[in-house]
Amino acid sequence: MSGSEWIIEAHGCGADSLRDLPRLQLLFQNIIDGMNLHPVDSGNWHQFPGPGGITGLRLLKESHLACHTFPEYGSLCLNVFCCKPRPDWDFESILQGLFDAHSVKVRRIERPYA
């Protein structure tokens, strides 16, 4: 048995979109719905003052979903960990659509338990 973890880096994003909490919450909801995940809470969010970004965490029955945005660099870092294998998901399209990302790098890591 093993889990799957996705590490996603999006670059060239619009700075204002990376400071937009409702947009990040929509991203999380799209991932939760699209990957058939099961949240155990409503999430925790921290918005840094001024031109800073946002850090978010959502606990899942499957493990967690986390993000960090860096408006000053136009980047968004996303992490999804599932304790059971899941099919890949189209992170690139949603990040391009919501944040105007120019490049998206997705790495999938299998996490064996034994």
Active site residue 77: no
Among candidate residues 4, 13, 17, 63, the one labeled active-site is 63
**Rg over CA atoms, the chain:** 14
Among candidate residues 11, 64, 77, 83, the one labeled active-site is 83
Active site residue 83: yes
* Cα–Cα distance, 80 to 60 (Å, whole number): 10
- 106 within 8 A of 11, measured Cβ to Cβ: no
Active site residue 38: no
Question: 91, 97, 95, 74: which is closest to 16 by C-alpha?
Answer: 74
Catalytic residues: 63, 68, 83
